[in-house]
Structure 1
């Protein structure tokens, strides 16, 4: 556990250094609140926007009043991590699940140091773990320990059900980071609902061995989620073409869902340097905020 924390802290420091170098001080925190919250009312003055008039207060007959707002400084952030069986693909200590947990750990350390309220939801085809939002470095360490100790009860994937669980838990508009390989079907509507209600970032984890399936002849393949074994001819052109087509179609479908619903999308190659890939997330948020 101590070794993992040192690794995450080292990665977080590296991300901060890259950001400071590339952004040259013009970096808006990825975890800073972007909205406005109600503050008070004051008497209407000539030139005020009539759309800001508080009609309930004004109706009391003591004059016309408008609502005033203040910038929402404190951001609520939720990490939603898919921990189903398909996440176990990859070499030891570099499975998609391992990288997903490390990414959550880095983001947890970063978020709490920017005074964000941080929560965690782990999903498979059910709710595997829920950590209520909290603040401070001790809370970040508690989340990291929870991820480190987590042993999922189910190996199956049901992203739609997992997202519905998240929607039922998270009532206040928040920033959500949904981390999964998205190897599933029929989750489009739920992702759209998540994006409409919250500020959504989709992080898709991909393993090179899935994208470059080796030609091994006829071999048994075990489904990590169902446990079923089937024999396939990995050297057959028809198999390879269909496999790669389905993989690319899944990725394109997810990107289209994100574009349609104004959610940010980031692909993470688990075999590469994901720290540099994570910097893309910060760059993406910066560009979005500056153009908003």
Structure 2
């Protein structure tokens, strides 16, 4: 049961989004995402000119004449958000924390899906999956999703994206659009786990950053997360060797994850705590729309 304060907060969020969607995202969501998948409809007799790749060889052998599979465009999408809520998500030095940024982005995309009658699901994870909401549609489900996004307190240490991705193979999921929302402060080798699922699902990486993590331009102490252990520790601005080592580690793993995404043709949306999320969302949707129109 949602408390009155949470309901009011979500309704205010909805109100802001309704104006933004009317002015910024109108029509673009559908053209960028709709029709991405197809689902099996029936088999029928082969007609000259049919694509031979659609021949159903089992039915053909049984009927002793060629039959092909027919598919129809999916009427609704399934959208799943894998959201990293590890300790580093609570970091933020400008407009908001990364956790607030993550909630704003995920809430915006989930709301877009809801108003287009699509299904949405949510997985919150740290070094393990902490909360999982099934893929469903409707406003009550959206309220539950937002409640967990805003109020779930993380328990685990570190980030284990590989563990979160396993949910895609454990569940019998139809083809889905999967947003992996994380700062990717992790030394995981993500190539194999992503490769195992990217053909079955439409994967999109959403990488979150705070200015201080990129520039390390601060005085005194700052909390940072060790990419390998997930341990949060204090970094001293006067310890130049530690600053250089941390920046080098961050740069190397950022470059590595970018290379993996590029190799698998997985798009990346870059979000920062000091800028509005509208611009990167619009840029991504329009780029995706252009890519589809060229096919």
- Do both proteins adopt the same fold according to a TM-score greater than 0.5, normalized to the shorter chain? yes
1:50 counterpart = 2:52 = yes
Contact 1:12 1:106 in 2 (8 A): no
Matched residues in 2 for 1:74 and 1:88: separation? 34
| Number of aligned positions between the proteins | 286
* Equivalent position of 1:133 in the other structure: 135
Shift of 1:236: 5.0
Alpha-carbon distance change, 93 to 63 in structure 1, aligned in 2, over 3 angstroms: same
* Equivalent position of 1:123 in the other structure: 125
Counterpart of 2:96 (choices 83, 94, 97) is 94
Matched residues in 1 for 2:202 and 2:65: separation? 37
Contact 1:9 1:109 in 2 (8 A): no
SS in 2 for 1:197: coil
Alpha-carbon distance change, 241 to 199 in structure 1, aligned in 2, over 3 angstroms: same
Alpha-carbon distance change, 92 to 132 in structure 1, aligned in 2, over 3 angstroms: farther
Counterpart of 1:109 (choices 93, 108, 111) is 111
Counterpart of 2:24 (choices 3, 18, 23) is 18
Contact 1:42 1:66 in 2 (8 A): yes
Contact 1:119 1:131 in 2 (8 A): yes
Q: Can you list the C-alpha shifts for 1:168-197, whole angstroms capped at 9, x where unaligned?
A: 236322110000000011242323333233
Q: Superposed, which structure 2 residues align to 1:1-292 within 5 Å?
A: 1=6, 2-11=8-17, 13-20=19-26, 28-61=30-63, 63-91=65-93, 94-169=96-171, 171-188=173-190, 189-216=192-219, 219=221, 223=225, 229=233, 233-292=236-295
Shift of 1:112: 1.6
Listed as ranges, the gaps of 5+ residues in structure 1 are none
Matched residues in 2 for 1:226 and 1:250: separation? 14
Matched residues in 2 for 1:183 and 1:281: separation? 22
SS in 2 for 1:148: helix
Taking only aligned residues, the RMSD between alpha carbons, in angstroms, comes to 2.7
Shift of 1:140: 1.3
SS in 1 for 2:185: coil
Alpha-carbon distance change, 47 to 242 in structure 1, aligned in 2, over 3 angstroms: same
SS in 2 for 1:119: strand
Contact 1:105 1:144 in 2 (8 A): yes
SS in 2 for 1:106: helix
Shift of 1:242: 3.2
Contact 1:38 1:67 in 2 (8 A): yes
Shift of 1:135: 1.0
Matched residues in 1 for 2:276 and 2:121: separation? 26
Contact 1:87 1:95 in 2 (8 A): yes
Listed as ranges, the gaps of 5+ residues in structure 2 are 1-5
TM-score by length of 2: 0.85
Alpha-carbon distance change, 7 to 221 in structure 1, aligned in 2, over 3 angstroms: closer
Matched residues in 1 for 2:141 and 2:106: separation? 13
Q: Can you list the C-alpha shifts for 1:50-73, whole angstroms capped at 9, x where unaligned?
A: 332333333344743322221122
Contact 1:15 1:276 in 2 (8 A): no
Matched residues in 2 for 1:19 and 1:179: separation? 20
